[in-house]
Structure 1
């Protein structure tokens, strides 16, 4: 038993000593420079800044389509990439936005169409997903939807 333990110990010592090579000698200077540059750039984020974060359509007729445009600018230090824009419901449709990178200082826009559904005060949110530090931004649309004058009252409609 002593021979087995002694043999295994000797084998482990030989393995550790024979592989002992200075790891610092294996590091290439170009890799160190590339890693330092990558780490410095990882703290730079694009920043999305909107011309307005809420649009009020005011008082509108029921079912009257509405449209507005939100303009945004990249005020950060890295290219901005908008990956998705979606609304809180199907009655609000964001469109005409680019997935191409937006360089620092450049501006772009997207259109939001609202079909005028709902009644009284309505508020819808549009979530803009991008490569910003926060990851997403929210803009809103609001309106006061007046009842449709051509619609039948609910009691009369139920009687028919």
Structure 2
């Protein structure tokens, strides 16, 4: 029984011994307000910090339409490091109110993180 407990302890504490990145956004929502349909693209950045103790990798961003593009950092973000996710919204052919969710895949405990943009496209 004693040997079982000794063998089980490393398994239980393996997560604590291995570093884990933590993604913390300054804000996860951006209100773009009223924008003109012919006014060109609108760019918003979402600043974040890796509050964990291992490098943070943002690997993929999923969007619901081709009107929204995302630029993720190309390199891992070191523990304590800061970077940004850039969201580019194209209002052409998108009249009316919009709410777009961007799902970001990361090597964190919660595998998906969401940032949103919203606003109204005026003709």
What TM-score, normalized to structure 1?
0.63
Q: Specify the structure having the higher radius of gyration (Cα).
A: 1
SS, match of residue 103 in structure 1: coil
Quote the residue 2:4 is aligned against: none
Runs of 4+ in 1 over 6 A off after TM superposition: none
More strand by share: 2
Quote the residue 2:89 is aligned against: 114
Higher RCO (CA < 8 A, seq sep 6+): 2
**Larger % of helix: which?**
1
1:137 maps to which residue? 113
Determine the C-alpha separation between the residues in 1 that align with 2:20 and 2:54: 5
CA-CA distance at 1:102 after TM superposition: 1.4
- Equivalent residue for 1:67? 43
* Match in the other structure for 2:63: 87
Where does structure 1 lack aligned partners over 5 or more consecutive residues? Answer: 1-31, 148-160
Query: How far is 1:145 from its partner?
Result: 0.9
CA contact (8 A) 1:94 1:113 kept: yes
In the aligned structure 2, how far is the partner of 1:41 from the partner of 1:142? Answer: 41
Gaps of 5+ in 2: 1-6
